[in-house]
Structure 1
């Protein structure tokens, strides 16, 4: 297999384990797809569940395998020379005979999703890729009414920035606190791959905090002396943070960096969010804050920026634009709505976070 094909297949595998919509999967050319070596690779790396951990759910596998078989059938001109792999056909037969949940039930169920952040080394090697596996719901809003049980595009852009050379220098050896952590993906990435000294993932929803604990376990961060554990805590924005008891409450020293992704979507919570930022700046005047935001409503984000400035915060746009969807190698996320990363520092003594 040449390096170009290896790169294409590695990208396909990353898309598949991220549960990218099957219609958006980028398959190799049909003439390549039908070769026995590629069919064997597809079975071993995507569909052989006896040797794959954190496999996608059955309904998703079926939605991928059926069109794959169709592509292979159309690509084979001479059955004497080429044939569809018995392993792939066997996997399809097994899925077709299974009792699968309805589509509406499927999107509410939690499933293993693996996000892979590709190396920026300029090589085709996958050895430096950084992956995080999460148990998350694929629905926009879960049955419990929260949006915190899936990973959103702003978190994926922020994660991509953090694994870059510039981003790694911000995290390495630092105490990290994440606000509105949701699935905990950013916190897990910092602890598992980026050399953070300590990590605390916080959210205001107790059920979401419990789910983060499960995800840290999936990534081996709950035990082991060689890894940095991700501590979890419920944190209501706007509530006071006490410096003397911070280590006792959160199991970590005063944070050096505060991270947040998709935390500015609701205008009504912005005063409380900025009040929490003010609390952390009072703990550490040299604190650095990175906020990634999907700009769905410009007025809402303007409110966030104005509230920050009225509290003596300096905002700087980080030059790290999203990669166009057709050029993404991992992770994969929509870019039709603007996504930005902002660095926030403190210039002067805080004022009133609740002032607009």
Structure 2
């Protein structure tokens, strides 16, 4: 058989699995392929073996996936059960999970969970021999159930961030951050900050969020991904609105003159939009040549249009970046639903004549 570590029939479902993709949508290989004992060993070693994988999904998720996998293998070996077998490792693993008082599916969503995102550029992955080295990844500890009293949703990575990340991994998108000083607004879990700092060669990234708890979790995710917070990334709490004279952001911009602002899933709240636009206004005052890239799922067309209108009122130039999400079954990395429109906007300050 070909090298299984680079076999797309196996690496694709593994990428989906470590991102906690919904089990019913995992892209398993054909059932006849699953009969192969080497394939079953590979799946056990790379999806369930705790000695080989230190940051596996929650056990409840593992059990749901393993039940489905064993069911598919049983179907595959029905024609010749005396010749074809199910790996003992897989069945023993399922027995262990069943006997281990694994939380129910409803309890599972309340668990902190490692989520690993595969960050492939247009050129695809490398051909290193070990699965963890095969693809560039970002691993985040997410608290998907947690929404704070301040309506913060920054403890999980949302579709807008993954869509913007997919764009930044293209050649066109990567040029926007490579070698640049980047400021992220509403950084949340830190996915885009880590992507820019770790995989896209940003010069420096300042990651901000309005919630102190989110910033603390972001710091933990930076350490988890071995991103040098002392030199490569700065994390700060930032409340949107006009900057005060003593604002730390002015000193930070003097030290690391911002070239580009990024933000994802930050235009869903009508209450916050005016403050966000005022923040952009002050940033343009500090750095008139700034380029701003904002992505978001259009859950409410009226709210998204309100953001556009507020930008127009401040004489910002707003352009749509043409980058459509791939249908889920065509995605090879950064898996996310695209049932609702997802937009990416490029925003810049208008010329002096436009601002008169």
Check whether TM > 0.5.
yes
1:37 positional shift: 1.2
Query: Displacement of 1:163 after TM fit?
Result: 1.1
Correspondence for 1:98 among 100, 103, 109: 100
> Equivalent of 1:324, from 324, 327, 339?
327
Shift of 1:91: 1.0
Gaps of 5+ in 1: none
Distance across 2 between alignment mates of 1:115 and 1:250? 30
Give 2:239's aligned residue. 236
Q: Please show how residues 37-186 of structure 1 align to structure 2 within 5 Å.
A: 37-76=38-77, 77-121=79-123, 125=127, 129-139=135-145, 141=147, 146-186=152-192
CA drift of 1:64 comes to 0.3
- Separation in structure 2 between the aligned mates of residue 311 and residue 250 of structure 1, nearest angstrom: 22
Conserved in 1, the CA contact under 8 Å of 2:263 and 2:295? yes
What SS does the corresponding residue of 2:236 show, helix, strand or coil? strand
2:155–2:217 Cα contact (<8 Å) kept: yes
Structure 2: 5+ residue stretches without partners: none
Q: Confirm or deny: 8 A CA contact 2:125 2:134 kept in the other structure.
A: no
SS in 1 for 2:116: strand
Going from structure 1 to structure 2, the CA distance change for 1:186 and 1:50 (only over 3 Å counts) comes to: same
Deviation at 1:86, TM superposition (A): 1.0
Using the TM superposition, give the Cα deviation of residue 80 of structure 1 relative to its aligned residue in structure 2, in angstroms.
2.5
1:221 maps to 2:227: yes
Q: Per-residue displacement from partner, 1:124-161 (whole Å, max 9, x unpaired)? A: 85878431110102337468853111100010010011
Q: What's 1:21 paired with?
A: 22
Is 2:126–2:134's contact at 8 Å kept on the other side of the alignment?
no
The match for 1:303 among 306, 328, 340 is: 306
Over 3 Å counting, the alpha-carbon distance change for 1:340 and 1:37 in structure 2 is: same
Structure 1 stretch displaced more, 114-123 or 301-310: 114-123
- Classify 1:336/1:112 alpha carbon distance in 2 versus 1 (closer, same or farther; 3 Å): same
Contact 2:222 2:229 in 1 (8 A): no
CA distance in structure 2 between the partners assigned to 1:48 and 1:201 by the alignment: 35
The 3-state SS of whatever aligns with 1:240 is coil
**Partner of residue 204, structure 1:** 210
Partner SS for 2:109: helix
Q: Distance in 2 between matches of 1:144 and 1:281?
A: 27
Q: TM-score, normalised by structure 2?
A: 0.91
Per-residue deviation, 1:2: 4.3
